[in-house]
Amino acid sequence: MKRSRVTMWLLGGLALALALTTACSNTNPSGSGGAEGGGEKPLDIRIMTLYYTPESPGKDNVIVKEVEKRTNTKLDITWVSPNSYGDKVNVTLASGDIPDLMLLDNPFTPQVRTMVEQGAFWDITDYIKDYPNLSKYPEESWVNTKQADGRNYGVPRVRPVEGGGFIYLRKDWIDKLGLQVPTTTDELYTVLKAFVEQDPDGNGQKDTIGYAGFVDQQGMALLGQLQNVFTGANGDWKLVDGKLVNVNVLPEMREALVWLSNAYKEKLLPEDLAVLKNTQAKDLLKAGRAGGFQDTVEAAWEPTQELRKTNPEADFLPLVSLNGYVNRDSGYFGIYAIPKSVPEEKMKKLLAFLDYGASDEGHELAWYGLPGVHHTVKDGIYVMTEQAEKDIVAQQAFGQIFGKYDKYQRAHRVGMPKDVLERNKKIIDERAEVSVPDVAVGLFSDTDVKVGAELRKKFRT
């Protein structure tokens, strides 16, 4: 920091130091003694972020209000659907009207890199040591979000490195059809074809889809991990003979495209995969119409939970790997950047706000709500109440802003029984033995900034 808090406190005298020590605690980023004690005006914070719940939390959402109370803040949150978040980021950055805390889901786009070079965001590298909970984030999360100059320009939306988006399948369908859980792409093709042709839902009709994947304008989208299984590379680049080679020129990419083309022709994939949205694909799963998808380990519980309302045997199983490959994540899913238009003192308070969100208390509030109202704890498992659903209390809501680091974060989701939780932990541990990192994450290429978008467009066409 340019001026230590200790120095400022001493200048104000011992009494003032004690008051400010309380004021600057993790629970009061506004710098007041709290909403009920200090009387200082709440800190106004504008935030832009994602939500994955059916509806976004409103301004009067109980968790939003409780966070405001505990942190003495006034929150103005723009909640954006994942279906359009990338476009919203581009438009907002271009407008110049950037919120105090803005989730950059991809902090390495040419647009973001250029704005970093132009000084549009705060360099928070030297400040993080003053925030104990943010400092607990794994080194991988901070290293992998550094920009070209080796500095951090945002707080990672921390995620574990294992348990990320990969393929999961209807295990109950696999069992019903007398098949084995696939470990190769050939075996996966056989399973998906059986899902389509052998009436796994038992309704007497061939109306099921093998895998609810789709593509978008940016690339392979929810078919991405199937592509990676063939190339053995996590992302667009693979280390070959000591050099980074774009996967699109590898012979394995042709194999992937042939496999996907055949799967599409045999209707193992949705016919409308070019226009299908994330939420629409999930609806296919929840309606019992699709047997596979790509998402994090714990996310497989979402459609399972919905299906078990009418079919207690329904079960989506996250795969450990295919062809010996599974992706290792980078320890983050975007960063919360602070525009340089925010004064330094407010920037520090914003970091304190996020630091509170990374504490045990802030994490529990955002993910599980109020004890006795939104959840109870039984055998170490959070059991959510109906009120939690009504109040939109979930990891997929305010949990997109607040959250602490947890190795097994992607093993657990509210409402999940203990046997599924323990199975998920085992899958995560097994993935750790073979997972492949993205060797190019965070690397800077001036050529990519200048012509990367055009080259990627040509690859897509």
Give the tens place of pLDDT for each residue, 207-259.
999 999 998 877 788 899 999 999 999 988 999 999 999 999 999 999 999 99
pLDDT higher than threshold 70 for residue 184: yes
Fold of 166-326+417-460: D-Maltodextrin-Binding Protein; domain 2 (3.40.190)
Give all strands (DSSP E) within 147-197, no chain letters.
Answer: 155-158, 166-170
pLDDT for res 461: 57
pLDDT for res 443: 80
Beta strands 73-80 and 43-50, pairing class: parallel
pLDDT for res 31: 55
pLDDT for res 459: 65
* The pair of three-digit structure tokens given for residue 239, joined into one six-digit string: 């280390």
pLDDT band at 12 (very low <50, low <70, confident <90, very high): very low
Task: List, for residues 413-431, the tens digit of each pLDDT value.
Answer: 877 899 999 999 999 999 9
pLDDT higher than threshold 80 for residue 16: no
pLDDT for res 429: 98
Fold of 5-161+330-400: D-Maltodextrin-Binding Protein; domain 2 (3.40.190)
Among the residue ranges 194-203, 370-379, 441-450, the one predicted with the least confidence is 441-450
pLDDT higher than threshold 90 for residue 344: yes
Averaged over 21-42, what is the pLDDT? 54
pLDDT higher than threshold 90 for residue 93: yes
Question: Going edge to edge, which strands form the sheet with 43-50?
Answer: 73-80, 43-50, 101-104, 332-337, 155-158
Averaged over 138-157, what is the pLDDT? 94
pLDDT for res 450: 74
**Cβ-based neighbours of 5, under 8 Å, separated by 6 or more:** 20, 24, 130
Among the residue ranges 61-70, 100-109, 446-455, the one predicted with the least confidence is 446-455
Q: How far is CA 326 from CA 235, 269, 388, in A?
A: 12, 21, 34
**Cβ-based neighbours of 151, under 8 Å, separated by 6 or more:** 123, 125
Q: How far is CA 259 from CA 33, 242, 380, in A?
A: 61, 28, 43
For residue 123, the tally of other CB atoms under 10 A from its CB is 16
Averaged over 141-161, what is the pLDDT? 95
Helices (H), 308-445: 344-357, 360-368, 386-390, 418-431
pLDDT for res 23: 36
Domain locations along the chain? 5-161+330-400, 166-326+417-460
pLDDT band at 49 (very low <50, low <70, confident <90, very high): very high
Contact 406, 298 (CB under 8 A): no
pLDDT higher than threshold 80 for residue 449: no
Contact 311, 163 (CB under 8 A): no
Beta strands 237-240 and 73-80, pairing class: unpaired
* Percentage of the residues of the chain whose pLDDT score is greater than 90: 78
Q: Does the global pTM surpass 0.85?
A: no
